[in-house]
Amino acid sequence: MKEMKKGLEGVVALDTKISYIDGIQGILKYRGVNIEDLADLSYDAVSYLLITGKMPDEAELSEYSRMLVENRHINGKLIEVLKDFDFGVEALDGLRTAISCTAHFDEKNNHHTPEANRNKAIRLVAKFPTIVAALHRASFGDKPIEPMNNLSHGANFLYMLSGKIPTELEAEAMEKDLILSAEHELNPSTFSLRIAASTISDMYSAVICGLCTLKGPLHGGARKGVMDMLDEIGSIDNARDYALGKLERKEKIMGFGHRVYKTLDPRARIYKDVAKRLAEENGDTSWFDMAEELEHILYHEFIEIRGKPIYPNVDFYSAVVYKYLDIPAELATSIFAMGRVSGWIAHCMEQYSDNRVIRPRAHTV
Ligand code: SDX
């Protein structure tokens, strides 16, 4: 038996056309397009690109957006079923259960034709934000807010959450967040989804595998961890003691480090810029300043202790963006999933299109 690689580090498990990462140069592409060029598009356009493999022209984008808007509504029974559960600490638990229920409401759930899968894809992308917003409101006994058709995917989510139409910058920030979260090659949640898809399990089941894997604090759950950490630090004056204490106790600092990037995650650079602009619009830059101070402290401390710096990953400045958007920490992982669902679906379809069941070996010790 060949050598075992703990955590499958560096192991190439499959071919993909969906995304490309150069972890040394800090390059990320979706379907051959640099993330910097995608960040200014709409989430709908990026979702279309990921799922179909083609950049939409004007007519294709308008038709795709129309189908997403048409499918934003959720079955009223869903909230009835879920409203009495307590998802207070981690809303992703509610989202996971809701997607399972949504599969039951979809009579084509177990149909496996390309057409049935395309329709499931539209429903999933369209309904994720409505479910997240409605469940959050239900946890306070508030009624869901109907989607507003003329708002973008991201702006409509913020509207359904609070009932307020977001400012132009807030809407842009939410769209960018969903785009930057949408896809990242063979990350843990996508890998788990591809294993499920490789058994020809249905798309809902595969997406639920993705959700369950995203939840952990070493993956998508780190975004909530960063929000909690910023609350705990409380002030820029406490950042150094907090960081040094963590390092001394050999505890992981949420939102830092990455298996693939050995330089700054290109998504973190874009998030940082959005967070700074939101801070300035807000007139209170304290969350941003605290985060930037932590970034600088850790960069230099890691050089001192380990001879190489550590960089923020995608979850660090996204958490700062959520702070300025008034998003509660318990929603952070679900919002990550709202973006990631397009990438998951793209991987699910790619796996179905050229399948062999994924079944590695273990080395018995
Ligand atoms: C995501 O893979 C993807 O693509 C995921 C993702 C996506 O878009 O799908 O990019 C999203 O999941 C981002 C990562 C979110 N997680 C966190 O922010 C949690 C904190 N980060 C770490 O736990 C860690 O950096 C990981 C999990 C992200 C990566 O883990 P690795 O590759 O297994 O690295 P490691 O834990 O073996 O760390 C290597 C060294 C260790 O030191 P030594 O034992 O060699 O001395 O770096 C240290 C670690 O202790 N280290 C950290 C650290 N990250 C690494 N030390 C303190 N705080 C950290 N955050």
**What is the whole-number distance in angstroms between the Cα of residue 259 and the centre of ligand 1?**
6
Task: Give Cα separations from 321 to 34, 242, 246, 248, 276 (angstroms).
Answer: 22, 21, 24, 29, 8
- The structure tokens listed for 6 are 């703990």
Residue 41 CA from chain centroid, whole number: 17
| Average pLDDT score over residue span 278-298 | 97
Ligand 1 atom 14: residue of nearest CA = 219
Q: Is 100 within 8 Å of 109 (Cβ atoms)? A: no
Whether the predicted pLDDT of 87 surpasses 80: no
Q: Whose CA is nearest to atom 24 of ligand 1?
A: 257
Burial bucket for residue 115 (CB in 10 Å: 0-12, 13-18, 19+): exposed
The rounded distance, in Å, linking the Cα atoms of 320 and 266 is: 16
pLDDT on residue 1: 64
| Closest Cα to atom 55 of ligand 1 | 257
Q: Which atom of ligand 1 is nearest to the CA of 260?
A: 2
Residue 76's SS3 state is helix
Residue in 313, 318, 338 to alter for ligand 1 test, most ligand atoms within 8 A of Cβ: 313
The pLDDT-based confidence of 81 (bands split at 50, 70, 90) is confident
For residue 101, pLDDT beyond 70:
yes
For the ranges 24-33, 38-47, 82-91, 300-309, the lowest mean pLDDT is seen at: 82-91
**In whole angstroms, what is the distance from residue 270 CA to residue 100 CA?**
33
Q: Which atom of ligand 1 is nearest to the CA of 251?
A: 57
Give the model's confidence band at 344: pLDDT under 50 very low, under 70 low, under 90 confident, else very high: very high
Mutate-to-test residue for ligand 1 from 219, 303, 347, highest number of ligand atoms within 8 A of CB: 219
pLDDT band at 137 (very low <50, low <70, confident <90, very high): very high
Q: What is the mean pLDDT of residues 247-263?
A: 96
Q: What is the mean pLDDT of residues 53-68?
A: 98
Element (H, E) at 10: none
Question: Ligand 1 pocket: which of 6, 50, 258, 297 to mutate (most atoms <8 Å of CB)?
Answer: 258
Please state whether 234 falls in left (phi above 0), alpha (psi between -120 and 50) or beta: left
How far apart are the CA of 206 and the centre of ligand 1, in A? 25
pTM to 2 decimal places: 0.97
Burial tier of 24 (Cβ tally within 10 Å: 0-12, 13-18, 19+) = exposed
Q: Please, are residues 353 and 110 in contact by the beta-carbon 8 Å criterion? A: no
User: Nearest residue CA, atom 22 of ligand 1?
Assistant: 257
How many whole angstroms separate alpha carbon 357 and alpha carbon 143? 43
282 pLDDT more than 90: yes
CA dist 346 and 53 (Å) reads: 8
Residues with CB under 6 A from ligand 1: 7, 184, 187, 218-220, 222, 252-259, 306, 313-315
CA of 310 to the centre of ligand 1 (A): 9
Best mutation site among 180, 186, 218, 270 for ligand 1 pocket (most ligand atoms within 8 Å of CB): 218
Rounded to whole angstroms, the Cα distance separating 56 from 60 reads 5
- By the 8 A CB rule, do 286 and 230 touch? no
Q: Which atom of ligand 1 is nearest to the CA of 247?
A: 57
CB of 342 within 8 A of CB of 50? yes
- Mean pLDDT for all residues in the chain: 96
Two tokens at 343? 């990438």
Judge whether residue 2 has pLDDT over 80: no
pLDDT score for 13: 96
User: Which residues are catalytic, by number?
Assistant: 258, 315
User: Percent of the chain having pLDDT more than 70?
Assistant: 100
Q: Separation of 188 CA from ligand 1 center, angstroms? A: 12
Q: What count of residues does the chain have?
A: 365
pLDDT at 285 over 80: yes
How many angstroms does the Cα of residue 226 sit away from the middle of ligand 1?
Answer: 13
- Nearest alpha carbon, ligand 1 atom 8: 184
Q: Which of 204, 226, 206, 209 is nearest to 217 (CA)?
A: 226
DSSP 8-state symbol, 260: S
> For atom 18 of ligand 1, which residue has the closest CA?
255
Q: Which CA distances in Å does 212 have to 2, 192, 209, 276, 344?
A: 30, 9, 5, 32, 13
Q: Give residues with Cβ within 8 angstroms of 354, minimum separation 6.
A: none
pLDDT score at 79: 87
**C-alpha triplet 190, 257, 216: angle, nearest 5°:** 45
pLDDT at 231 over 90: yes
178-217: pLDDT as tens digits: 999 999 999 999 999 999 999 999 999 999 999 999 999 9
CA of 312 to the centre of ligand 1 (A): 10
Query: Which is the closest atom of ligand 1 to the Cα of 181?
Result: 8
Tell me, what's the pLDDT at 286? Answer: 97
Distances (CA, A) of 78 to 104, 139, 327: 10, 13, 23
**Residues 84-103, mean pLDDT to the nearest whole number:** 88
ipTM of the complex: 0.98
| Protein residue with least CA distance to atom 31, ligand 1 | 259
Give the pLDDT confidence score for residue 82 in this predicted structure: 86
Q: Name residues whose C-beta falls within 8 Å of residue 159's C-beta, 6 or more positions apart in sequence.
A: 145, 147, 148, 151, 165, 166
Average pLDDT score over residue span 123-144: 94
